[in-house]
């Protein structure tokens, strides 16, 4: 037993002697291996929040045209894609029966004009006779009062005067009746002319025919649209803004509108109108953007994407949005100093989706972990594997920031 203990002590002594002969000790398991991280410097920048929307283009005006009259289509004067001016006739209905009624009404006007003229002439003649009868009565009455005319002469003169007066009164009624008949026939002419005008369909606006729903020979009623005409010198697209964004835009504000089907270059649009009240169901505020389309490149129904800048901040201290992590409900950054990760609780502000304003907890030029930070803890040794170049636009350049989130 004593022999075994002696051998063990000798082995330990020799091992201790061998360790002290200038050899370096092996690392212990308690020493952590540095964690690789990617870093970037905190920078000052100008931030813009841009809301991105999409929708389909619509014509500024779109009219579905229904004729006032009804009947068989006799002629079509416009086709889909054709430009028309306000007042142009698009189609004509068969109007032979209306034209016949108009001819008859015009003939009735001529007859009633002649009747009125005869009645006026008769009245004029009887008024002359009445004047003669009145002068004769006045002369006979004077003689009768002086005792130079008989009672029978006086009575005859008085009777003639009364008869002449009655004839004039009757003629005045005849003239009035003839005038009424003429007025009635003139009204009939006007009504028939209206019916004749209603037998054609005119475009009330200048634009382009986008639909034709009738053919020659078909019976057309006044309940279904025959043509659709659109005015696309200006097109529009609608956005729905939340209550937090609607007050950041204004009528007349310029908007970039991208239409992939019309090329890569964005079109300049303007906010035309903003609804003062929210939609009852969506609880959003409709905003309409108009785009000039003089060359007719843009067509209703094309897909459009447009951006509305709603906020802007200049020369603010920022960090990449992906560098910020949330722990226990608090946003934190890991600043790299002296080979270690230092956890910094920060207060964030405005963000454009790529960079975030840091109000408190960060200094200009601090080196921030932007890769590998999710597994870091305060005091973790790190080794910098890559330094990311600056990603922010320099403050004061006025360059737009990236898109925001809707």
3-state helix, strand, coil in the chain (%, to 5): 30, 35, 30
Beta carbons of 61 and 228 less than 8 angstroms apart: no
* 189 and 115 in a common domain: yes
Residue 401 has pLDDT above 90, yes or no: no
d(CA 104, CA 96): 12
Residue 392 has pLDDT above 90, yes or no: no
Token readout for 158 is 């008085």
Which helix (H) or strand (E) is 13 found in, with range? helix 2-19
Q: How confident is the model at residue 207 (pLDDT cuts 50, 70, 90)?
A: very high
Residue 12 has pLDDT above 60, yes or no: no
pLDDT digits (tens, 9 = 90+) for 73-85: 999 999 999 999 9
Q: How confident is the model at residue 393 (pLDDT cuts 50, 70, 90)?
A: low
* 141 and 46 in a common domain: no
pLDDT given at position 15: 38
Residue 22 lies in a domain: no
pLDDT given at position 205: 94
* 176 and 135 in a common domain: yes
Residue 308 has pLDDT above 50, yes or no: yes
Indicate the number of domains in the chain. 3
pLDDT mean across residues, the chain: 87
Residue 54's closest CA among 352, 275, 277, 255? 255
Phi, psi of 346 (to 5 degrees): -125, 160
Q: What is the DSSP annotation of 342-368?
A: EEEE-EEEEE-SSEEEEEES--TT-EE
Phi, psi of 159 (to 5 degrees): -65, -40
Beta carbons of 44 and 316 less than 8 angstroms apart: yes
pLDDT given at position 16: 41
The larger pLDDT score, comparing residue 193 to residue 25, is at 193
Name the one residue in this structure whose structure tokens are 């000798």.
10
Residue 83's closest CA among 370, 388, 284, 294? 294
pLDDT given at position 17: 42
CATH value at residue 297: 2.40.30.170
Residue 400 has pLDDT above 50, yes or no: no
Residue 305 lies in a domain: yes
Beta carbons of 332 and 345 less than 8 angstroms apart: yes
* Cβ-proximal residues to 46 (8 Å cutoff; 6+ apart), any chain: 312, 313, 314, 315, 316, 393, 395, 396, 397, 398, 399, 401
Tell me what the mean pLDDT of segment 190-201 comes to.
95
pLDDT digits (tens, 9 = 90+) for 112-136: 999 999 999 999 999 999 999 999 9
Token readout for 17 is 């002697």
**Statement: the pTM of the whole predicted model exceeds 0.95:** no
Burial class (CB in 10 A: 0-12, 13-18, 19+), 321: middle
Note down the domain range covering 174: 95-198
Q: How confident is the model at residue 246 (pLDDT cuts 50, 70, 90)?
A: confident
DSSP annotation of 61 reads E
* 364 and 381 in a common domain: yes
Tell me what the mean pLDDT of segment 61-65 comes to.
94
Beta carbons of 207 and 230 less than 8 angstroms apart: yes
Helix axis angle for 151-197 and 96-145, nearest 10°, is: 160
pLDDT digits (tens, 9 = 90+) for 261-282: 999 999 999 999 999 999 989 8
Q: How confident is the model at residue 391 (pLDDT cuts 50, 70, 90)?
A: low
Residue 247 has pLDDT above 60, yes or no: yes
Residue 301 lies in a domain: yes
Residue 102 lies in a domain: yes
Token readout for 269 is 């649009």
Question: Which of 310, 328, 354 corresponds to the end of one domain?
Answer: 310
């Amino acid at each position: 037993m004593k022999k075994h203990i002696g051998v063990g002590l000798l082995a330990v002594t020799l091992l201790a002697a061998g360790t002290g002969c200038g050899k370096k000790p092996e690392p212990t398991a308690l020493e952590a291996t540095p964690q690789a991280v990617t870093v970037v410097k905190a920078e000052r920048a100008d931030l813009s929040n841009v809301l991105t929307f999409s929708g389909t283009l619509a014509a500024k005006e779109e009219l579905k045209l229904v004729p006032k009259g009804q009947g068989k289509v006799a002629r079509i004067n416009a086709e889909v894609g054709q430009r028309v001016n306000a007042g142009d006739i698009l189609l004509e209905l068969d109007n032979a029966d209306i034209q016949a009624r108009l001819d008859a009404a015009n003939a009735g006007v001529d007859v009633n004009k002649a009747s009125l003229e005869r009645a006026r002439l008769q009245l004029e003649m009887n008024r002359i006779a009445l004047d003669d009868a009145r002068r004769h009565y006045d002369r006979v009455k004077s003689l009768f009062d002086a005792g130079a005319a008989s009672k029978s002469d006086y009575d005859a003169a008085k009777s003639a005067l009364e008869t002449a007066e009655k004839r004039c009164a009757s003629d005045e009624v005849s003239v009035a009746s003839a005038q009424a008949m003429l007025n009635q026939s003139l009204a009939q002419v006007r009504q028939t002319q209206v019916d004749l005008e209603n037998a054609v369909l005119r475009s009330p606006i200048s634009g382009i025919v986008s639909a034709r729903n009738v053919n020659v020979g078909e019976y057309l009623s006044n309940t279904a649209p025959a043509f659709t005409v659109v005015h696309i010198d200006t097109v529009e697209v609608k956005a729905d803004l939340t209550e937090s964004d609607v007050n950041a835009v204004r009528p007349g504000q310029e908007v970039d509108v991208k239409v992939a089907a019309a090329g890569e270059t964005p079109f300049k649009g303007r906010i035309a109108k903003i609804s003062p009240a929210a939609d009852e169901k969506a609880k959003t505020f409709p905003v309409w953007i108009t785009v000039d389309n003089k060359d007719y490149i843009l067509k209703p129904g094309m897909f459009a994407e447009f951006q509305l800048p709603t906020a802007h901040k200049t020369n603010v201290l920022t960090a990449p949005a992906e560098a910020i992590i949330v722990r226990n409900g608090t946003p934190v950054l890991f600043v790299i100093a002296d080979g270690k990760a230092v956890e910094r609780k920060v207060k964030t502000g405005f963000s454009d989706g790529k960079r975030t304003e840091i109000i408190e907890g960060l200094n200009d030029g601090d080196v921030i972990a932007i890769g590998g930070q999710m597994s870091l803890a305060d005091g973790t040794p790190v080794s910098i594997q890559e330094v990311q170049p600056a990603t922010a636009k320099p403050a004061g350049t006025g360059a737009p920031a990236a898109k925001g989130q809707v």
